[in-house]
Amino acid sequence: MNIKFVVVGKLKEKYFKQGIAEYAKRLSRFCKFSIVEVPDEKAPENLSQAEMDQVMAAEGERILSKIKDREYVYALAILGKERSSEEFAKELKDLTTYGHSDITFVIGGSLGLTPAVLKRADAQISFGRFTLPHQLMRLVLTEQVYRAFMINEGSPYHK
């Protein structure tokens, strides 16, 4: 199984990198895990709606260029469906059972995802209505993917 994150922007904070590296190492026994970073657009404060749309469109094109047709895509979106960790684990297990071995998660930039990216997604997932920095979201998502594998294995990690 291949798990890939397509994310906008570079991760600068050492503590996020360390946390993600730890979970990536743990995930290596379950799947091939990778993170693909696409450049973010410079977006100064006080952009007009047209300028925001332009920034999102450029980032969206970069995201879509990193997704292959066969990949099952989750877009992280505040209005996406919320799941419990157990529901998420079952969903991942069911996907692999039904032949989806390439699963991609998309985390947009600070302005979010374009309709084109959301349309390409097979599912939208939300971690609640909180706004979280996308760098932190990478760490949270990595941990939740690891937790899903541990739940499916029957490990006490989840307790």
Q: How far is the C-alpha of 81 from the C-alpha of 121, rounded, in Å?
A: 13
Point out the annotated binding site for S-adenosyl-L-methionine: 76, 108
We report the CATH number of the domain holding residue 134 as 3.40.1280.10
- Report the number of distinct structural domains present in the chain: 1
Task: Let me know if residue 157 belongs to a domain.
Answer: no
Non-local CB neighbours of 152 within 8 Å, separated by 6+ positions: 89, 90, 92, 93
159 pLDDT more than 80: no
158 pLDDT more than 80: no
Range of the domain at 34: 2-152
Task: Let me know if residue 90 belongs to a domain.
Answer: yes
147 pLDDT more than 90: yes
Task: Let me know if residue 159 belongs to a domain.
Answer: no
Helix axes of 134-153 and 14-27: crossing angle, nearest 10 degrees: 20
Q: How far is the C-alpha of 132 from the C-alpha of 128, rounded, in Å?
A: 10
Point out the annotated binding site: 76, 108
Question: What pTM does this model have?
Answer: 0.96
Task: Let me know if residue 158 belongs to a domain.
Answer: no
Q: Give the chain's count of helices (H) and strands (E).
A: 5, 5
